[in-house]
Chains A and B, each alone.
Chain A
Amino acid sequence: MLVEQIAVFLENKSGRLAEITAVLAENNINIRALSVADTADFGILRLIVDKVEEAKTVLKENGFTVGKTTVIAVEVADKTGGLANVLKCIHNANINVEYMYAFVNKTGENAVLIFRFEKMEEAITALKKDGFTILTREQICEL
């Protein structure tokens, strides 16, 4: 149920994001979803890719600091209130969201919400109980 995500440390200087994406492209790694969180001094790039281990290795070889964490991907209908329903469920279970980002799939019918929660296992239980669709990494890559 948990999806592996890689995170890359980015110093705030021009061209770094371009370098990362170039490295991934050269190695034929496809980015399925990404987000950048930034502060005045640095940023963190979070990526969901088709080949996790390979991505981690090539980025490291190119001098980046790379970490691997897990996130939860929830699929909802791309309709008003889709995200609100998920957050209501999480709030009712008394769980905090560390961060989240989202993308819409190719057909445009569904949206995929990527979450990092404070309590991952409890979040899965709560989401399942309320009947939400949780995607695996393979499913995301196939979208």
Chain B
Amino acid sequence: MSVIYWEEEMETLPRVGLESIQLRRLQHLVARVYRTVEPYRRKMDAAGVKPDDIKTLADLTRLPFTVKKDLRDNYPFGLFTVPLEEVVRVHASSGTTGKPTVVGYTANDIKTWSNVMARALCCAGATKGDMVHNAYGYGLFTGGLGAHYGIERLGATVIPVSGGNSKRQINIMKDFGSTVLLSTPSYALNLAEAMDSMDIDPKSLSLRVGIFGAEPWSENMREEVERKLNLKATDIYGLSEVMGPGVAQECLHTTRGMHIFEDHFLPEIIDPETGEVLPPGEKGELVFTTLTKEAFPIIRYRTKDISRLYYEPCECGRTLVRMEKVTGRTDDMLIIRGVNVFPSQVEHVLMGVDGVEPHYQIVVDREGNLDTMQVQVEVSEGVFSDEIRVLENLTKYIQTEIKDLLGVTCRVKLVEPKTIQRSEGKAQRVIDKRKI
């Protein structure tokens, strides 16, 4: 199989060369962030570390971590390193207590992002001759636009179809001859189901490869997607705090990990309890430092995603380290149909409703190919009524509030008091029945 690279030199650089580029970029980044962003400066001062202390890549561990709370505390633009005049785009994702996490990009950042995304597409075997069906959501979510710009940068044809309306999507696939599909893996299965109901044989379509991400998925699911859509399914990784889609991508030669575009995103694996960096190959929390971002660089960002790093050379010739498919989270974040959901956000909504008790449980399941979320709420005397209408209005109200804040449709189920299990210490808020 011939390998297509987007930036061959960088993607196949011997590690010594790569590391010297990483170090130089890291030193520039730390100096600039220290100079321009007060919260970073304060944290570094408190840790007793100065930009000049970064002499080797190993000195990275001397820098304090950045966590989601830092983003929230500096909402919306407090961690930007450039004046807003230079920011050409912002994206946002839902936060843990209602405030979204905001990220910004300069024109150069968009170029970098487009390039790494073009690399990801090449990694999956896409070329400028492809018709790329981009079913990631367009909007504040980084998925749609992030992928879009990369597809254009590659020179392929992008169909900016976004999510939803599966039947129309399939007609477009058929009529336009889509060859590459980008979507969440669960939406891919949804499309397969719609194809089936329309009596369309996936073999009659031109789909060749899929680039799926934004939610956890298993090897079993990969097989199912490949079989039902008659394509090769690859995994992509990204998060808005670091860039968006295009941080790492699986190549066609292995399913053992996604290549991280390390000249831009420097990964570490740490013990989530102690914060210590773990030896190569060990499982732990993935941490990223952006090396080239201008508007919103981030130092040692704790992703809370659990993974491990493989430094062994890959058959495809890329020298870039691979990260294992994300296998879990260190926190209680749920990903429902591609949307990040924290139980605390649901709690926040419930606490805003008069008379609702702080006893609730979230039951997540997968019906067919779509994630479902049920919120069970105990009916206290404060909200109880002898009229059905009043209770139905209550469930509708909670549903709407959750949809507004989290962007996820859920079902609210009223349950009798004391039926939600009380546990000693930390309550079990989430029951995840999905088999991922």
Query: Which residue of A37, A65, A98 has the most chain B CB atoms within 10 A of its CB atom?
Result: A65
Most buried by B among A5, A10, A11, A64: A11
- A16 to B307 alpha-carbon distance, docked (Å): 46
The yes or no answer to B387 lying at the interface (CB within 8 A) is yes
- Cβ of B430 < 8 Å from any Cβ of A? no
Are A116's CB and B387's CB within 8 A? yes
Is residue A107 within 8 Å, beta carbon to beta carbon, of the partner chain?
no
Asked, given contacts A9-B416, A11-B414, whether A65 binds B379 with beta carbons under 8 Å apart, the answer is: yes
Interface string of B397-436 (1 = CB under 8 A from A): 0000000000000000111111100000000000000000
Q: Determine whether the beta carbon of A67 is less than 8 Å from that of B417.
A: no
Measured CA separation A64–B416 after assembly (Å): 7
- What secondary structure prevails in chain A residues at the interface with B? strand
* Residues of A close to B417: CB separation below 8 A: 63-65
Interface residue ranges of A4-50 to B (CB < 8 Å):
5, 7, 9-11, 16, 37, 39, 41-42, 44, 46
Q: Which residue of B lies closest to A67 (CB)?
A: B384
Complex: A49 Cα to B389 Cα, angstroms: 24
Q: How many A-B residue pairs have CB under 8 A?
A: 56
**Residue B86 is within 8 A (CB to CB) of chain A in the complex:** no
Question: How many of B's residues come within 8 Å of A, CB to CB?
Answer: 19
Q: Which residue of B lies closest to A7 (CB)?
A: B386
B156 within 8 A of A: no
B159 in contact (CB, < 8 A): no
The reply to whether A9 and B384 contact each other, CB–CB distance below 8 Å, is yes
CA distance in complex: A10, B417 (Å): 10
Question: With an 8 A cutoff between CB atoms, is B380 at the interface?
Answer: yes
Complex Cα gap A5–B392 (Å): 21
Whether B381 sits at the interface, judged by CB under 8 Å, is yes
Considering the complex, give the chain A residue whose CB is closest to the CB of B385: A67
Contact check, B381 vs A44: say whether CB atoms are below 8 A apart: no
By the criterion CB–CB under 8 Å, are A99 and B416 in contact?
Answer: no
| Complex Cα spacing A46 to B379, Å | 16
Closest residue on chain A to residue B389 by CB atoms: A98
- Cα A41 to Cα B384 in complex, Å, equals 15
Given A41-B413, A41-B414, A67:B381 Cβ within 8 A? yes
Contact B379 A99 (CB under 8 A): no
Known A-B contacts A39-B392, A42-B391; A7 and B415 likewise in contact (beta carbons under 8 Å): no
Report the Cα distance A94→B380, complex, angstroms.
Answer: 33
The interface centre, meaning the residue of A10, A41, A98 with most chain B CB atoms within 10 A of its CB, is A41
Cβ-based interface call for A135 (8 A): no
Max count, chain A CB within 10 A of own CB: residue among B380, B381, B386: B386
Q: Which 6 A-B pairs have the closest CB atoms?
A: A7-B386, A9-B379, A11-B416, A67-B384, A69-B386, A65-B384
Please report B residues at the A interface, Cβ cutoff 8 Å: 379-381, 384-389, 391-392, 395, 413-419
Given A99-B387, A116-B387; 17 other pairs, CB 8 A cutoff: A9-B379, A9-B416, A11-B415, A16-B416, A41-B414, A42-B391, A42-B413, A44-B386, A44-B388, A63-B417, A65-B379, A65-B380, A65-B416, A65-B417, A67-B381, A98-B387, A98-B389
A-side residues, CB < 8 A to B, are 5, 7, 9-11, 16, 37, 39, 41-42, 44, 46, 63-67, 69, 98-99, 116
A-B contact pairs, 30 of them (CB 8 A): A7-B384, A7-B385, A9-B414, A11-B414, A11-B415, A11-B416, A11-B419, A16-B416, A39-B392, A41-B413, A41-B414, A42-B413, A42-B414, A44-B385, A44-B386, A44-B391, A46-B386, A63-B418, A64-B416, A64-B417, A65-B384, A65-B417, A66-B384, A67-B385, A67-B386, A98-B387, A98-B389, A99-B387, A99-B388, A116-B386
